[in-house]
Amino acid sequence: MMATKYGNKKVMVDGYKFDSIAESTYYGQLKWLKQAKQIKSFKLQPRYLLQESFKKNGVTFRMIEYVADFEIHNLDGSIEIVDIKGAPPTEAFKLKHKLFERLYPEKLSVIFHKPEYGGFITWEDLKKLEKKAKPNARKAKKLGVPTSKRKRA
């Protein structure tokens, strides 16, 4: 399999091509949740229009779309959009995220696969944990503790 532009290995599962092992693992979890009747259904690679194409001064500007990894339909009728990330979100993603939040009522969850934190974790929770870990690293540096002796979070 080919690697993606972010260095992840593309993976084939059930005839679907995923951009990373983490994404294919999440797909497996969704299949299990659907089979266990914990969710109603889910879609792969749903597309959301963020801006129509338009013409200005004779130049056509292409539409802007956001393609998420998953759209989950919950038993209570709510819909959650999920994007699996393996690296910090790019500036392009952050902009599309803002546009999505402005235009659509569905919840957009950005999820990372971090085994050191127990598996899948939301971007918000990951930022909180990393923020909590940073003061300890700075404190160790101030105290002159050699890098090799510092506690790992």
**Torsion angle, alpha carbons of 130, 88, 86, 30, to 10:** 80
Structure tokens that stand for 152 in this block = 């790992």
Q: What is the pLDDT of residue 58?
A: 96
Structure tokens that stand for 127 in this block = 């930022």
Q: Which residues contact 128 (CB under 8 A, 6 or more apart)?
A: none
How far is residue 8's CA from residue 21's CA, in Å, rounded to a whole number? 8
Q: What is the pLDDT of residue 153?
A: 52
**pTM score of the predicted model:** 0.77
Specify whether the backbone of 65 is left (phi greater than 0), alpha (psi in -120 to 50) or beta.
beta
For the domain 11-149, what is the CATH code? 3.40.1350
Structure tokens that stand for 77 in this block = 């009728």
Question: What 3-state DSSP class applies to 88?
Answer: coil
Q: What is the pLDDT of residue 147?
A: 57
Structure tokens that stand for 92 in this block = 């392009």
Determine whether 129 is exposed, middle or buried from the number of CB atoms within 10 Å of its CB (0-12, 13-18, 19+): middle
Q: What is the pLDDT of residue 114?
A: 86
The domain limits of the chain are: 11-149
Tens digit of pLDDT per residue, the chain (153 long)?
Answer: 454 555 678 899 999 999 999 999 999 999 999 999 999 999 999 999 999 999 999 999 999 999 999 999 999 999 999 999 988 889 999 999 999 999 999 999 999 988 888 888 888 888 888 888 776 555 555 555 555 555 555
Q: What is the pLDDT of residue 124?
A: 85
Q: What is the pLDDT of residue 95?
A: 96
Q: What is the pLDDT of residue 142?
A: 57
